[in-house]
Amino acid sequence: MNPAPSIVLFTSSAGTGYGLLFLLGLLGPLGLLPADRWLGLAALGLSLGLVSCGLLASTFHLGHPERAWRALSQWRSSWLSREAVAALATYVPALVFAMGWIVWRRLDGGWAVAGLLAAAGAAVTVYCTGMIYACLKPVRQWHHPLVTPLYLAFALAGGALWLSALVPLFGAGRPPLTGATLVLVLLAWGAKALFWRRTDGAAPARGTADAIGLKPLGPARLLDPPHTEENYLLHEMGFQVARRHAGRLRRLALLFGGALPAGLLLLSLLSQGVSASAAGLLAAVSGSLGIVIERWLFFAEARHSVTLYYGAAPI
């Protein structure tokens, strides 16, 4: 698939923002985060800023962005529509929660309920995003049971990295969140490595003979191309990344997304003061870069069954 920059930005930016919002809405009401005005302003501002930038970026992938509102009407059957509804609905409790934290310095009572609702909305939105791709049977790499859990895992790991980086900057100490973040990062990238191994090792399920309905007669091959020049389907669905480039990018994703953040988080746990804060911040930046690379590969390595009509290798 052709990885549009707008979709890569949306899924990585909004995912991290929702992961951070989930943690704030859950840990704040539980008393595991201080009701510090400036911490709330920075953390919630970053969270909602990432979410808003991601949602705005997604509209650039639409042929008619002015009609984006129509997606809200198909929530009964479309995961894309459900994602849009959940994303907009989450703003309401998130803004109420932000007002209680930043203006009143309160994380209890009704403000706590708003935080928990915001956390639930964030989780539902990311789940819907993952299901948009997981429900597409024509793309073997997406129609996989690990796709949606991976979206949730990367959102949670990315949000935890930024929360672990922000909390010490406001004198709130280094809670057990840093150790928990290390575990989340390792689990997310471990699951991604397992996903790559399973999708790479899976035998092709469909070939050209399946696409044209002649499988009982044996293998089929293309005599002439359906078109004399590239069309929309080939541009969007027929994009292929060279195996050597994909391997190199996978290693970079594991390095920047998993290995470096894990090492920097360990350094943060063993250090104090400026060194610990700097290590936590670098871990968040590195982890975000790794997620962007992973998300680009998620789209670039996917192969749509429609390419079988154009003589592509079995999928």
pLDDT in tens, 156-188: 999 999 999 999 888 766 668 899 999 999 999
Q: Are 169 and 178 in contact (CB under 8 A)?
A: no
**Rounded distance, CA 61 to CA 82, Å?**
18
pLDDT-based confidence at residue 60 (cuts at 50, 70, 90): confident
- The pLDDT mean for the chain works out to 89
* pLDDT at position 205 over 70: no
Rounded Cα distance, 31 and 97, in Å: 14
pLDDT surpassing 90 at residue 207: no
Q: Please tell me the predicted confidence (pLDDT) of residue 286.
A: 98
Give the Å distances, CA to CA, from 189 to 3, 107, 256.
Answer: 21, 33, 11
Q: What is the dihedral of CA 147, 71, 56, 286, to 10 degrees?
A: 0
Residue length of the chain: 315
Give per-residue pLDDT as tens, 65-109.
666 677 788 888 999 999 999 999 999 999 999 999 999 999 999
Full residue range of the structural domain in which residue 295 is found: 5-310
Residue 116, pLDDT above cutoff 70: yes
Give the whole-number percent of the chain exceeding pLDDT 90. 63
pLDDT at 203: 63
Question: Is 146 part of a structural domain of the chain?
Answer: yes
Q: What is the DSSP letter of 144?
A: S
Q: Is 306 exposed, middle or buried (0-12, 13-18, 19+ CB in 10 A)?
A: middle
Higher pLDDT, 313 or 6: 6
Instruction: Give the pLDDT confidence score for residue 310 in this predicted structure.
Output: 72
Residue 87: which CATH number? Answer: 1.20.1630
Which of the 8 DSSP states describes residue 308? G
What average pLDDT does this structure show over 41-52?
98
49 assigned to some structural domain: yes
Grade residue 231 by pLDDT with cuts at 50, 70 and 90: confident
| 216 vs 40, residue with greater confidence | 40
**Pairwise CA distance, residues 32 & 26, whole Å:** 9
Burial (CB count within 10 angstroms: exposed 0-12, middle 13-18, buried 19+), residue 163: buried
Nearest to 133 by CA among 1, 245, 18, 287: 1
309 secondary structure, DSSP code? G
Tell me what pLDDT residue 285 has. Answer: 98
CA–CA gap between residue 25 and residue 94 (Å, rounded): 8
Residue 4, pLDDT score:
86
Spatial contact of 126 and 19, defined as CB atoms under 8 Å apart: yes
Interval 233-242 mean pLDDT? 72
- Choose between 61 and 105: higher pLDDT: 105
The more confidently predicted of residues 173 and 142 is: 142
Q: How confident is the model at residue 238 (pLDDT cuts 50, 70, 90)?
A: low
Residue 222 has pLDDT above 90, yes or no: no
The dihedral of CA 136, 137, 141, 144: what is its sign? positive
**Single pTM value for the model:** 0.93
Of the candidates 157, 181, 120, the one whose C-alpha atom is nearest the C-alpha of residue 19 is 157
What is the number of domains present in the chain?
A: 1
The pLDDT value given to residue 214: 66
**What does the DSSP assignment read for 161-199?**
HHHHHHGGGGT----THHHHHHHHHHHHHHHHHHHHHHH
Residue 115 lies in a domain: yes
pLDDT above 80 for 31: yes
* pLDDT for position 228: 67
Give domain status of residue 315, yes or no.
Answer: no
Element housing 124 (H / E)? helix 109-134
In the predicted model, is pLDDT for residue 259 greater than 90?
A: yes
Does the pLDDT value for residue 261 go beyond 90? yes
* Dihedral pair phi/psi, residue 231, rounded to 5°: -115, -170
What is the per-residue pLDDT for 92?
98
Tokens of 124: 């539902």
Compare 283 and 74 and report the one with higher pLDDT: 283
